[in-house]
Amino acid sequence: MAAAAPAFQALSDEIRSLIASCPAHAPLLSRLQDLERERLRMTLALYALQAPARLELFAWQQNDGSPLKAGQGCGCGSGDGHSRAAHQTQEPTEAEFRAAVRELTCGIEENTIAINDVLDEVRDIEDNDGSEDMSEARNGAPCDPSDAHTARTATQG
C-alpha cells in the first residue's frame, strides 16, 4: 500500500500538467482525477474495514460466537494478558460488516465503470481528430481548443 501512494501522486501530477497544458480537456481530465481519487478512498476504506476481519478480531468471528468476557485475553497476540476491554471500540455486527463491505465493493465497481466511461470519452476525442491535442498536451505543447470542441460535437451528434 505504501508504494501505491507515490505512484498515485505521480499520476496526479501528470494529470494536473495535462489540464494546465490543454484547458479544452480540463473538465474531462478533472473528472477522471476526481473519480480516481474516490476509487482510492473507497479502496483504502475497504482495506481498513477488512483488516480486523482477516485477523478474526471481531467477536462474531470467535469460535463460540460470543464476545470475550472481562479478564479473558483479547487474542491480539501482544502477550501481555490484557483483556478485550483494552480495545474498547464499537465493532460492527456481522450483518453491518457484510453490508459495509458490499456497499464499498459496489461503489468501487460503479466508480470503475465511470472511470472507463471517461476514458472512452478521451479515446473518442483522440480518435476524432483530437489525437494531436492530447499527444501535444502530453509533450507540453499547447493544444487547439477548437479541435477538441469539434471532436466532442462530432461524437455527441
Q: What is the pLDDT of residues 94-118, one digit of tens each?
A: 999 999 999 999 999 999 999 999 9
**pLDDT for 144:** 46
> Which residue pairs from 132-138 have beta carbons closer than 8 angstroms and sit at least 24 positions apart in sequence?
133/22, 133/24, 133/25, 134/18, 134/22, 134/25, 136/21, 136/22, 137/18, 137/21, 137/22, 137/25, 138/18
How confident is the prediction along the chain (157 residues), in pLDDT tens digits per residue? Answer: 566 678 778 877 877 887 888 788 889 989 998 999 999 999 999 999 999 999 988 888 886 545 554 445 555 656 555 555 555 668 899 999 999 999 999 999 999 999 999 999 988 887 875 444 455 544 444 444 444 333 333 334 3
- pLDDT value, residue 146: 42
Closest C-alpha to 148, from 17, 26, 34: 26
- pLDDT recorded at residue 134: 52
CA–CA distances in Å: residue 87 to residues 36, 44, 45, 48: 34, 22, 20, 16
By the 8 A CB rule, do 81 and 143 touch?
A: no
Distance CA 95, CA 103 (A): 12
Q: How many CB atoms lie within 10 A of CB 120?
A: 11
Give the mean pLDDT of the chain: 74
pLDDT for position 101: 97
Sign of the torsion angle spanned by Cα atoms 59, 62, 64, 69: negative
Residue keyed to cell 483483556: 83
